[in-house]
A and B are shown apart, each in its own frame.
Chain A
C-alpha cells in the first residue's frame, strides 16, 4: 500500500503534521501504538517559558535546540499559524503571539504558558490577578484535584477564596470505588441532560464572587457540554487542570484525529511500526504488527513516536536507542551522567533523542536518511520542562517538516 507520507506516532506532533500535509493534498497514513502525551495535557501549549516574551527566550537557546534548527524567521511564521489551525479543528485557544500569560497548575502555582484552551482560568501576562473573590469548587470525593492547594496559591496572590465540594447523586456509584473516581469517568457521567443539574449545584455558590473555578472534568468528546455549562452558570466559570488523565487533552486528541480523517487521512490506532526496509540512503517501506507481511510504502516518512514515555525512545544497559529502526541518538555514554542528583534540576536524559540535521533528517550509522524526518518529543536537544517548550517543539517541528514537503494538486 502506497502513501505520499507515512507518519509514525499519532500524538500532537504526528497529527499536526498529518493535518498540514493533508491540507496540501498529500495522501497520509498515521500509525499509532497507543494514546499519547495529550492524555496528560495541562490545557496550555508552551512555546518557550524562559522569558515573558517567548521569542526572547527562544533567542537564548543553543544551536542543538530544535527551534535553532528551524530558525527565528520560520519560527515567527509558523507560530502565527497555530491558533488558526486549532480553530479549524474546533479548539479555541486564548493568548497572544509574543507574550506568555500564566496558567494555574494543579498545585496552585502560576506557570508561564503560551496558548491556553479557552475554558481554563488564566492570569494575564502582567501577572495582575483578574479576580478579587472566587469560589473554588471540587466534586465530592474526587481526589485528583486539591482545592486547598489552589486556594492557598490564589490567596497568596491576594485573591479571597471560598472552597466547596458539590455532590451529584449520579456520581455516587463512582464514589463507591475511589479508583474509579477519575476525571474521565466523571466527564462520562456529567454530560447531556445532567449539565443543567450540575449548573444548578454550582450556582448555589456563585453569588457575590467574581468567578467560579472548578476541575476540568466536563467535555470529553466535544466542547458542547462546556459551552452549555458556562452559559448556565451565573458567574464566569473557569477550569483548572486536574492531575492526569486530562479530559480536555483527550478531547484535543480526538478532535485532531477526527479532523485528520475528515481531510482524507488514514489513522491506524493500536498498531505499531516494527521495522523498515532501507535502500540507497532511503527508507522504502515499513511493516507493522497488525499487518504482518504487508509493506506500507511512501515517498517520505515522519518519525513522531514521542520520548521515553511513549516508547519512541528506549534504554538498556548499552545505552539509549531508537527502537524501530535503530537510528542514531544524541545521549551521554556514561549512565551516571543521565540524572542530576537534585530531582528538581533539569534531568539530562530529558534532552536525549534522535539525532537530526537542520532539516530534521534522521541518521543511521552516521549517514543521513534522505526521506525520513523526526518531529516532536522524539527529537534531541531540548528540555521540555526546564525551557517550557514541549508542545511548541511538537507543533512547530511538525509544521516545519511539512513545509519542506511538496504540495500535491
Chain B
C-alpha cells in the first residue's frame, strides 16, 4: 500500500457486529463505541468531516482481536489506529513521551539502574508519578538491568559468533536490551548450541509500537526507516532477522506497512520470531534439541493479542511441548489488558485489570509453575496480577536445554 492511500476495506463491512463480540474494551467500558462504530462506521463519517473524530478512540488497545474475528476481512484495528494518528487532537503528555520512548528511557535508566529501580519503587515517587504524570501507582516499572544486553554481547559473545557457518541477525528490542538481558542471552545460547552464530543489526531503534499508540507518528516513521535499512543489510547478507518479542515482530511486519505506510514487502518474510525459526528447523530435521531430564514443570501458554493476529502461537507452544518434562496447558486466548503502555496510564488502570480478570482467574486456578508467553508487557501484567512467574518460551527452552548434548547432536 502506498503512503497516502485510503484503506477502503471498511466498505466490506456488512454490519454483522461480530467484531464487537470479541472486543475486550467493549466488555468493560461502556464509553467505548466498539470496533464497528469506531472503525468502519466512524471512518465513513470522518472521511466526510474530520470533526466526527471521537477522542474515545484512545480507549482502543490495538489488540486486533476484532480483525481476527471479522468474517469480511475489514482492517478494523488499522482503521482505528490510523484515525487516531490522523485526527487525534489531544497533545501527547510528558507521561506519554516517557512511556513511548522506551529506548531513550532505557539508556538513561540502565546507567543508573540501582538508583532508578530504587526510586521507581519508592512509595512517594509512585504517588508523584500517579499525581503528576498519571502513571497508575499500582504499576511497578519493569526493572532496568545494570548492564545492557548489547554491552554484554560485545564484551562476552561477539568474538565467538564468527566460528559458526550459519548466521542469523537478532533484533533484541528494548526490553531484552535494557530490562531483561537474560532473554537475549538465552536466545544466543540456543542459537549457538544449534550451530548458528548471532549478529546484531548495524543499528537498532525501538520498533516504535509505543510511539504509534501514544501518537508520535513522525518519530515512529523515522525509527522504522532506520530499522528497515539495517534489516535490509542483514537480509542482503543472507540472514534472517529474528526477534524474541511477538509485539516487535508484529509491528515491523504489519504496522510498518498498514499504519506507517512504509513499504517493507522486500524484507517482511525475513523478519521472524525466533520460536518459529527454530521450530521449523526442528520440523525439517535440520537440527535436534536435547533436553535435561530433570526439568519438570507445569507450564501454560498465554497467547498475546499480537501473537493471535500473527497466528503463530503454534510454533512457540510446539517448542515448549517438546520438552519431555513439561506438563503443558493452553490458556484461553484472551487479552491480559495491558496492551503495551495502555495499562500504565492512570485513566486505563481499572479497565486494564478488568479485561484481564478472566485470564488471571484461569491462571490462578490452574496450579502452574510458570506461564509462557512471547510478549514482555503480558509478562508484567500477568506477574503483577497473579504472582505466577512468566517466561518467554525462548528462556524456557534455554533453561531446559542440555547444551552439551545439543551441541554434539548438531555437529555435522
- The residues of A with any CB-CB pair to B shorter than 8 Å are 1-2, 33-36, 39, 173-174, 177, 179-180, 182, 184-185, 188-189, 220, 244-245, 250, 258, 261, 266, 268-271, 288, 290-294, 310
**Residues B311 and A184 in contact, CB atoms below 8 Å apart:** no
**Residues B21 and A245 in contact, CB atoms below 8 Å apart:** yes
Interface residues of B in 269-317 (CB under 8 A from A): 269, 276, 279-280, 283, 308-312, 314
- B157 at the A interface (CB under 8 A): no
**Residues B311 and A291 in contact, CB atoms below 8 Å apart:** yes
> Please, how many angstroms separate the alpha-carbon atoms of A216 and B254 in the complex?
38
Given A1-B283, A261-B330, check contact A35 B69 (CB 8 Å).
yes
**Residues A177 and B37 in contact, CB atoms below 8 Å apart:** yes
> Please, how many angstroms separate the alpha-carbon atoms of A180 and B20 in the complex?
9
- Within the complex, what minimum Cβ distance (angstroms) separates B306 from chain A? 12
- B343 at the A interface (CB under 8 A): no
Q: Which of A39, A258, A290, A293 contacts B311 (CB 8 A)?
A: A290
Chain B contacts of A268 at CB under 8 A?
A: 311, 314
Q: In the complex, how many residues of chain B place their beta carbon closer than 8 angstroms to a beta carbon of chain A?
A: 36
> Please, how many angstroms separate the alpha-carbon atoms of A269 and B19 in the complex?
13
> Please, how many angstroms separate the alpha-carbon atoms of A258 and B34 in the complex?
25
- B71 at the A interface (CB under 8 A): yes
**Residues B37 and A39 in contact, CB atoms below 8 Å apart:** no
Known contacts A173-B30, A185-B26, A271-B311; 14 further A-B pairs (Cβ under 8 A): A1-B279, A2-B283, A34-B73, A35-B18, A35-B71, A179-B37, A180-B37, A185-B17, A185-B34, A245-B16, A266-B314, A269-B69, A270-B311, A291-B311
**Residues A1 and B314 in contact, CB atoms below 8 Å apart:** yes
> Please, how many angstroms separate the alpha-carbon atoms of A290 and B314 in the complex?
12
- Within the complex, what minimum Cβ distance (angstroms) separates A13 from chain B? 16
Give the top 4 A-B pairs by smallest Cβ distance, nearest first. A34-B71, A270-B68, A290-B311, A271-B311
**Residues B20 and A185 in contact, CB atoms below 8 Å apart:** yes
> Please, how many angstroms separate the alpha-carbon atoms of A40 and B21 in the complex?
13
> Please, how many angstroms separate the alpha-carbon atoms of A177 and B311 in the complex?
34
By beta carbon, the residue of chain A nearest B36 is A179
**Residues B17 and A177 in contact, CB atoms below 8 Å apart:** no
**Residues B16 and A292 in contact, CB atoms below 8 Å apart:** no
> Please, how many angstroms separate the alpha-carbon atoms of A293 and B277 in the complex?
12
Chain B contacts of A250 at CB under 8 A?
A: 18, 21
- Within the complex, what minimum Cβ distance (angstroms) separates A7 from chain B? 15
> Please, how many angstroms separate the alpha-carbon atoms of A245 and B310 in the complex?
26
Q: Mark B1-36, 1 if CB is under 8 A from A, else 0.
A: 000000000000001111011000011001101101
**Residues B314 and A244 in contact, CB atoms below 8 Å apart:** no
By beta carbon, the residue of chain A nearest B30 is A173
> Please, how many angstroms separate the alpha-carbon atoms of A173 and B30 in the complex?
7
> Please, how many angstroms separate the alpha-carbon atoms of A2 and B17 in the complex?
35
CB within 8 Å: A-B pair count: 83
Q: Which of A173, A184, A270, A293 contacts B21 (CB 8 A)?
A: A184
Given A34-B69, A294-B280, check contact A188 B41 (CB 8 Å).
no
Q: Which of A33, A180, A290 contacts B312 (CB 8 A)?
A: A290
> Please, how many angstroms separate the alpha-carbon atoms of A376 and B21 in the complex?
25
- Within the complex, what minimum Cβ distance (angstroms) separates A408 from chain B? 18
Interface residues of B in 89-146 (CB under 8 A from A): none
> Please, how many angstroms separate the alpha-carbon atoms of A1 and B36 in the complex?
35
- B70 at the A interface (CB under 8 A): yes
> Please, how many angstroms separate the alpha-carbon atoms of A270 and B311 in the complex?
8
**Residues A292 and B269 in contact, CB atoms below 8 Å apart:** yes
Given A177-B33, A185-B20, check contact A33 B71 (CB 8 Å).
yes
- B67 at the A interface (CB under 8 A): yes
> Please, how many angstroms separate the alpha-carbon atoms of A140 and B97 in the complex?
45
By beta carbon, the residue of chain B nearest A296 is B314
**Residues A184 and B20 in contact, CB atoms below 8 Å apart:** yes
Interface residues of B in 50-94 (CB under 8 A from A): 67-73
Chain A contacts of B37 at CB under 8 A?
A: 177, 179-180
Chain A contacts of B269 at CB under 8 A?
A: 292-293
- Within the complex, what minimum Cβ distance (angstroms) separates B353 from chain A? 16
- B332 at the A interface (CB under 8 A): yes
By beta carbon, the residue of chain B nearest A174 is B30
By beta carbon, the residue of chain A nearest B21 is A184
> Please, how many angstroms separate the alpha-carbon atoms of A177 and B280 in the complex?
49
**Residues B41 and A269 in contact, CB atoms below 8 Å apart:** no
- Within the complex, what minimum Cβ distance (angstroms) separates A317 from chain B? 21
Interface residues of B in 310-344 (CB under 8 A from A): 310-312, 314, 318, 330, 332
